[in-house]
Structure 1
Amino acid sequence: MCAIFGIIGTYEEEKAIEAFDTLAHRGIDAKYIIAKDHCFLGVHRLAITNVTKTLTQIYDQDGLQILFNGEIYNYEVLAEELQLHKPSEIDVLYTAYRVWGDDFVTHLRGMFAIAIIEEAQVKLFRDPFGKKPIYYTLDEQRFIFASEMKAIHSLIPLTLNREIVTQYLSFQTPLSPKTFDKKIYQVDEGEMLTFALEGKRIARKKYYTPLRKTQVIENEEHAVEVLEKSLLESVALRLPKEVKFACLLSGGVDSSLISAIASLEQRVDTFSIGYEGYEKYDERPFAKVVAEHIKSNHHEVIFSKADFLQTIEEVVSSLDEPLADPAMLPLYYLMKKVHKEGFKVVLTGDGSDELFMGYRTYKEFYALEQASGLEFKGWLQNYFKSHFSMHKEWEWYKRIFEESTLFRSTAEIFTDLQQNRLLRMNVKDNRSLAALEPYKEEFEQYGRVSPMEWYSFVDLKVMLGNVFLRKLDRMSMAHSIEARSPFLDKEVVATAFSCTPDLRMMKPSKALVKNVARKYLPNEIVDRKKKGFNYPYMEWLQESGELEVIHRIQEKMNLFNESELEMYLEKGKQGMFKQHLFSLYMLCKWLEKVNRRS
């Protein structure tokens, strides 16, 4: 695990090193640099595999350079197949590339961002689900790539993309490949990007999709058997052999199951976070039940209002662009504590809800889809258009009656019409849907038609790939911790998308996962009602006066219509539109930081 950075073209070595060193938090154990004419390459290493070896992290041989950020969990299996004796991961990558060419990436089982420089070309590869980031930019003098945008911004100033604000307000973040900078892009998940020096051409190619059917699973018993087998293997592959690891344990069925499986062969450490005085948000009692059941060495962390306010400043300072998930703040604080205890790796339960239909809203949306068959929906369409409401249900019915795509990911916050009323710009209806068009095309290309499969697929792309995994990477790597998510293994994902929609939507919610979990966890954990992650972030923001930053940015940039903005702020005092307000707060907090630096 590490950070990678490269400049192909003209550069000043001192400035290149300064840019590279902005990524030092991602790899604190060693750094490696190659500086040649028209080529600067750098790697910061976080030693997790082959810890005692002094490795060459930049492979430079036969006119080929390889830089690698991530973990290849099956590298020893691939080494045996390629007849290599005790190689490092990067040795395996080199040989695999020589043997299989660009298709080498399809043999990998892990999380990664890989750069290969060969014969006047740069090739960037990103893992299938977007766990590890890689950004790039191109101008007349050079092509730059980096694990985080801050390294690129050390060399070129931010060119703010005001148009991307609508996408951020829709989905909590810009959707890959776009960013808040007009000149910087990110490589998409499951994508290979090629930059050719001659003609300075960029080509993008998808090498992975979860939609390709390898089998169809229709029987519940068989589905549970296959899922359990793939999960056991996935967790085993992700247990580090050379450094301390811990499991993040919320007390929900997903993180509890991962923790329980990890504890089968050894005693594990578990971490949970809670909020004193806010018991309705606190899940520590459930986490404690699981910890006692699996006999883990359990750590409880308390997140106070003071911790929250301090964490905001640290997170905003580290973010290259705004992210509207309030869960990132306690996660950042928890990772800080995990790091202080000496752990380098954590296991998480991310991915289960999206793959196995764990969100309550999935069933609500599917029930609503049935309204598309109403005989007199034309009249209802006209009625809804002339009777606007701020309630989300109004937007849902409008989409149904217009025969538009209803579900646009669990990440959706502001609808297009809400944005049109709030922003001082014209936001056309269905603008958010246009951003999802590449996903829609991919979904239809592979012959998928079930609404339930669309819900899962678009959330895998948006909620997971663009929001949760981005959050997880930034908050963990800020403290030099590698986060591993066993549910997001290619084999586990293939199992999910091989199951028929009816199997994945069986009652109770996440029935397949729960049927596996019954072998490893108490029934009180398996059967308890899902509790969405929450904590008193809005109460703390209001009490502390932090929301005043929205007024300061409004006065400086005039982004919003005043009356609509005040409506959100007033409704927020009544406990409404919390997520909407938090997204506005993070946007303005980030813009204030950017304005101070410019």
Structure 2
Amino acid sequence: MCRIFGYFNASVTPHAMRTVAALQRHGGPDATGGSRGPSWGLGNNRLAVVGLDGGQQPYGRGGPVQVVFNGEIYNHGELRRRLQALGHVVPDACDGSVLPALYLEYGEEFTEHLDGMYALAVVDTRGAVPRLLLATDHLGMKPLYLRWDAAGRSLWFASELPALLGFGGVGARVRESALDAFLSTRTPFGARTVYEDVEVLEPGTTWVCELGGAPRVRRRGTQGPAGAGEPRAAAGDGGAAARRVRQALRREVGRLLTADVPVAVVTSGGLDSSLVTALAAEHGPQHAFTLAYRGVWPFDERHFAREVAERAGAVHHVVEVDPAAFPALLEETVWHLGQPNADPIALSTYALFRAVREAGFTVALTGDGADEVFGGYERMRLAAERAAAGDDWAPAYLDALSAAPAALRARLYTDAYRAHTAAHPALPEAAREDLLHGAGTVLERITRFELDHRLPAYHLRRVDHLSMASAVEARLPFCQRSVLALARPLSDGERIRGGQVKRTLYAAAAGLLPERVLARPKQPFTLPVRAMLRPGTVLWEYARDLLAPARTAAAGRLDGRAVDALFAAQAERPGDGTALALWALLVHEVWDEQFRARLREAAAGARPLAVAA
């Protein structure tokens, strides 16, 4: 697991490369490596997890093919044996060390042989001009940010947004529609970021360019070596589907526990992480980490998590965060994310992984991804029920995705900004079209949308950035191809029926978890923001200061009086929706303060939209 960065067909000083490396060294504190050629450069920060004595990057340094890699290749042992049988030399036991030989053997198709999570860059100097290849895994578990200058045919890339900005001249313009996209979907979706000139390489994408040429971009399929040949239950055979899901998860958890460093599990007390904990315990004693908040708050799950840990025979660690630390914690969290993400769980995620690292663990297994593919969200259930009744399901579903529903956004925006957003939809057009009018039932379309679009943008980037902020590799059993190959074809009834969500996964967990955990109502692992964002709390005072009317109205997008009215409503009648909207506006303001101050002078000549007092 590492952080990677580089440039192609550009001129970058060694100082700039060191700056970028320093900006993401928290994710790779064990070594820094690099290689340069005429008009190109590769760099990495290493977090040593497998093959601790080897793994120096770039892999293949000095040869015609050099690779930098962020992630984990779980089938590297099998690949190493195959490549050695074909006559290739793989220098050590590090998983990424197979990559140059794999590329030499299979060319641009080499990613089809990888089973794992990754973002990687290959420089191939065998031809008349160098060639760069970038690639991401099937779900985008390892993000890669890039700036492509079409006029100069130049590229800069990095694993994290703040690091990419370290190249200079990157992120010079914030996307005018970014605030609306953020409030509509809680973070930018698809390839977009908050910056006009920065994109994210989408999941399952291969990007290839020869020096001085234009890139070729190819989206690959989601199936791969682990998904090929997996037995699938017949439609409607719920019991067989559950058994096969349990077998696949058991196999994946066992594989993902393998590392040359200490491994822990994250246990919230809900179904998904509890099932991972129970399956991990079959391989020996585990350490399970749970986050809680000092004081008495709603949604405290520590007693459920403790019950799961005790049944599994795991050592239970409760990480308790003091709400008085939230302002400083929020600023750190927003910086590591590099762009706004409205999920209050982000603070919990950052604090939890920091504690995991402080306790001496470098790898942690989590339950992320289960809700998307097995049908775990209440909004999915409600949309399916509305559609079955012949009602219009889309407006309520889209509002449930947002940090501020459409009607509230209309009240918050100035007239000028409201007109601007009408011409710039928050969702990428292809994603929205498939969600609303694509093939399959409503629940099938929603599942596809949640898994292929929302999960990478909203969850996986957050998990990656906030785990690696503390040099912890998060591993995700539910995101493995063998599990997805079984879960994607499930029928609607195997996901949701009779008001019960995640029916197949609950059946797969039967007998492995305490009955109280299986029978409890579903609740999110999150910050109880409605209770914490109220008059008299540290978070309330912090938000009031940063979201003062004159300040929020200054850019001409928000009506400061409407924002102030949100505070009045929350003080008088606390509600989840109001609290989340205020939280989102606070996150955006913290991001604005941290990242846009450097752009103020550059943008001074731009005339702001009409300002509301």
Q: Normalising by the residue count of structure 1, what TM-score does the alignment of the two structures yield?
A: 0.89
Deviates more, 1:3-12 or 1:477-486: 3-12
Paired residue for 1:461? 452
Instruction: Determine which of 167, 170, 185 is the counterpart of 2:181.
Output: 167
Instruction: Determine which of 477, 487, 497 is the counterpart of 2:488.
Output: 497
Paired residue for 1:389? none
CA deviation after TM superposition for structure 1 residue 537, in Å? 3.2
Alignment of 1:334-349 (within 5 A): 334-349=352-367
Letter in 2 for 1:82: L
**Cα-to-partner distance string for 1:322-352 (whole Å, 9 max, x where unaligned):** 1111111122111111111110000101111
Letter in 2 for 1:256: S
Equivalent-residue separation in structure 1 for 2:258 and 2:228 (angstroms): 31
Letter in 2 for 1:114: L
Paired residue for 1:208? 221
Instruction: Determine which of 374, 390, 408 is the counterpart of 1:418.
Output: 408
1:535 aligns with 2:527: yes
Equivalent-residue separation in structure 1 for 2:104 and 2:27 (angstroms): 28
Paired residue for 2:470? 479
Call closer, same or farther: CA 1:431–1:245 in 2, change over 3 Å: farther
Equivalent-residue separation in structure 2 for 1:431 and 1:339 (angstroms): 45
Q: Is the 8 A contact 1:419 1:427 kept in 2?
A: no
1:125 aligns with 2:126: no
Q: Is the 8 A contact 2:206 2:220 kept in 1?
A: yes
CA deviation after TM superposition for structure 1 residue 427, in Å? 4.8
Equivalent-residue separation in structure 2 for 1:53 and 1:73 (angstroms): 17
Equivalent-residue separation in structure 2 for 1:160 and 1:444 (angstroms): 29
1:147 aligns with 2:159: yes
Alignment of 1:237-276 (within 5 A): 237-276=255-294
Call closer, same or farther: CA 1:427–1:363 in 2, change over 3 Å: farther
**Cα-to-partner distance string for 1:92-148 (whole Å, 9 max, x where unaligned):** 222222222222212211110011122432211111111111111133373111111
Call closer, same or farther: CA 1:417–1:123 in 2, change over 3 Å: farther
Q: Is the 8 A contact 2:209 2:216 kept in 1?
A: yes
Letter in 1 for 2:82: E
1:567 aligns with 2:559: no
Q: Is the 8 A contact 2:184 2:426 kept in 1?
A: no
Call closer, same or farther: CA 1:335–1:227 in 2, change over 3 Å: same
Identity of aligned residues (%): 27
Letter in 1 for 2:470: H
Paired residue for 1:188? 202
Equivalent-residue separation in structure 1 for 2:455 and 2:322 (angstroms): 27
Count of residue pairs brought into register by the alignment: 568
CA deviation after TM superposition for structure 1 residue 416, in Å? 4.0
Equivalent-residue separation in structure 1 for 2:265 and 2:6 (angstroms): 33
Instruction: Determine which of 217, 231, 241 is the counterpart of 2:234.
Output: 217
CA deviation after TM superposition for structure 1 residue 434, in Å? 6.5
Deviates more, 1:38-47 or 1:476-485: 38-47
Q: Is the 8 A contact 2:181 2:425 kept in 1?
A: no
Q: Is the 8 A contact 2:334 2:591 kept in 1?
A: yes
Call closer, same or farther: CA 1:238–1:142 in 2, change over 3 Å: same
CA deviation after TM superposition for structure 1 residue 300, in Å? 0.9
Call closer, same or farther: CA 1:458–1:42 in 2, change over 3 Å: same
Alignment RMSD, CA only?
Answer: 2.6
CA deviation after TM superposition for structure 1 residue 530, in Å? 1.0
SS at match of 2:134: strand
CA deviation after TM superposition for structure 1 residue 595, in Å? 4.2
Q: Is the 8 A contact 2:59 2:97 kept in 1?
A: no
Q: Is the 8 A contact 2:337 2:466 kept in 1?
A: no
Call closer, same or farther: CA 1:204–1:420 in 2, change over 3 Å: farther
Deviates more, 1:154-163 or 1:421-430: 421-430
Letter in 2 for 1:564: A
Paired residue for 2:504? 512
Letter in 1 for 2:2: C
Letter in 1 for 2:166: S
Equivalent-residue separation in structure 1 for 2:426 and 2:161 (angstroms): 25
**Cα-to-partner distance string for 1:137-177 (whole Å, 9 max, x where unaligned):** 13337311111122221122432112222111111111131
1:96 aligns with 2:102: yes
**Cα-to-partner distance string for 1:298-337 (whole Å, 9 max, x where unaligned):** 1111111123233112223333111111111122111111
Paired residue for 1:549? 546
SS at match of 1:265: coil
**Cα-to-partner distance string for 1:65-115 (whole Å, 9 max, x where unaligned):** 211110011111222333457653233222222222222212211110011
SS at match of 1:513: helix
Equivalent-residue separation in structure 2 for 1:72 and 1:161 (angstroms): 35
SS at match of 1:82: helix
CA deviation after TM superposition for structure 1 residue 283, in Å? 0.5
Equivalent-residue separation in structure 2 for 1:113 and 1:25 (angstroms): 17
Equivalent-residue separation in structure 1 for 2:547 and 2:62 (angstroms): 53
Call closer, same or farther: CA 1:350–1:73 in 2, change over 3 Å: same
1:110 aligns with 2:123: no
Instruction: Determine which of 337, 360, 376 is the counterpart of 2:378.
Output: 360
CA deviation after TM superposition for structure 1 residue 406, in Å? 6.3
Paired residue for 1:384? none
Call closer, same or farther: CA 1:276–1:88 in 2, change over 3 Å: closer
Paired residue for 1:28? 29
Q: Is the 8 A contact 1:138 1:144 kept in 2?
A: yes
Letter in 1 for 2:351: Y
Equivalent-residue separation in structure 1 for 2:58 and 2:315 (angstroms): 34
Equivalent-residue separation in structure 2 for 1:28 and 1:473 (angstroms): 16
Paired residue for 2:18? 17
Call closer, same or farther: CA 1:496–1:443 in 2, change over 3 Å: farther
Identify unmatched segments of 5+ residues in structure 1. Answer: 374-396
CA deviation after TM superposition for structure 1 residue 221, in Å? 1.8
Q: Is the 8 A contact 1:258 1:348 kept in 2?
A: yes
**Cα-to-partner distance string for 1:32-63 (whole Å, 9 max, x where unaligned):** 11133322211111000001336344323542
Deviates more, 1:562-571 or 1:211-220: 211-220
Equivalent-residue separation in structure 1 for 2:80 and 2:497 (angstroms): 41
Q: Is the 8 A contact 1:191 1:208 kept in 2?
A: no
Equivalent-residue separation in structure 2 for 1:595 and 1:129 (angstroms): 30
Equivalent-residue separation in structure 2 for 1:176 and 1:413 (angstroms): 18
Deviates more, 1:75-84 or 1:492-501: 75-84
Deviates more, 1:101-110 or 1:266-275: 101-110
CA deviation after TM superposition for structure 1 residue 471, in Å? 1.2
Alignment of 1:233-312 (within 5 A): 233-312=251-330
**Cα-to-partner distance string for 1:400-457 (whole Å, 9 max, x where unaligned):** 5xxx676448532334443233222135898786724323566799x84111111211
SS at match of 1:14: helix
Letter in 2 for 1:154: G
Deviates more, 1:361-370 or 1:167-176: 361-370
CA deviation after TM superposition for structure 1 residue 555, in Å? 4.6
Instruction: Determine which of 145, 148, 163 is the counterpart of 1:135.
Output: 145
